[in-house]
Amino acid sequence: MLATLSQLDIYSVSGGEGDSSDVSDIEDYSPTHICRTGCPIIKVDSGKLGKLAESGRSICVAFNSKSTAEPLQVIELDLAYTSQGTPHPAAQYVAISHVRAEGMGNSRGAELPQCRIRQIQGFVDALTGSPAGRTFFWIDSLCLPSADRHTKKLAARHICRVFVSAHSVLALVPSLMSFKSSGAPADRTLAIIAASPWPKRLWTFQEGAVANNFFFQFQDRAVALKHLLSASEQTAMPGLPGDNDTLESLLDKILQFSEDIKVDGFPGCLRYGKEENLSLSRRRAKVKLRGYLRLCFLMLPLFEYFATERERIVVPKVKYALDTVYGTLGRTATGREQRIDRLKSVLGLLEGTVV
């Protein structure tokens, strides 16, 4: 069902510049303006987003530049539609992938400056070739609840579904958005992507890995990563995926591992929590788990370009561990103890591997 946000009584517009400070703390991000004069801040009711999350739903939005009274429209997303290759039937929306510390993240509320929303709308309309304001998009800073830790965790469980269900995923990286890609050699463009913060994060890889269509936004256009890779002269890592391993089954194992490392009670589990609340040993365990998961995503042909020489040496060992543990168990054991046993098996096979 299509409705304006004001009809759903879910948003408000406030004047002034808002908080445009550049916050780099890992737990605290604020969005920045890209306009020279402070524009209105558009805020979505985080409590109502939380209620949607409780029933496995979210929203995506579209900016209407022709209406100051109702600048946004919203479509409600039922995230039961999660089959990869089948975009959400209610909307051909674009999911936005970004590094939260680079100006579009917001850990204090579901809100963004109007100038940011207008910019994103222009990008997604150009990507889909739609008239202005006709393409809906999802971005965590507007569409995820932030009212309390419980609803934030609840909504976070559905994030992968959001990216699976999207028609396309568009990565917005400031350093790339100032670079003209037309006419540039593929390897030069890929090197600029590799030097950006995007491939240095962890969950951005998952957002791109499950995408039906994955693009990076540049100053002049959006470019599909697979097209850049096909034009690249860099050779692929040998033997990945293996002869008996399809890309789908490899991704399935990686996603199972990414869920297992979030299990409560396991040292270093990748759950929400401030780093200062963790002991030194748990911090080290968390760093190691993050390193292993990064290596898992680097197995995928879509991301192997971003692997360093050292990582290319270690990746086959990580793949062997995944094949050994998840190739036999599959999804049959989903209880907490079974998940912990799987993690212990993987880490046992990777004992001594430096990440």
Contact 41, 115 (CB under 8 A): no
Note the pLDDT of residue 86: 58
Residue of 218, 268, 255, 264 whose CA lies nearest to 331: 255
Note the pLDDT of residue 64: 84
Instruction: Tell me whether residue 250 is exposed, middle or buried, using C-beta atoms within 10 angstroms of its C-beta: 0 to 12, 13 to 18, 19 or more.
Output: buried
What tokens appear for 254 in the block?
A: 């990686």
In angstroms, the CA 307 to CA 297 distance is 10
Q: In this structure, what DSSP letter does residue 39 have?
A: P
| Average pLDDT per block of 10 residues along the chain, 355 residues long | 47 52 49 87 87 88 81 84 55 90 85 94 94 89 79 77 93 96 95 95 92 96 96 71 68 89 68 58 81 93 92 91 79 71 88 72
Helix (H) or strand (E) holding 150: helix 149-156
Residue of 185, 30, 193 whose CA lies nearest to 102: 30
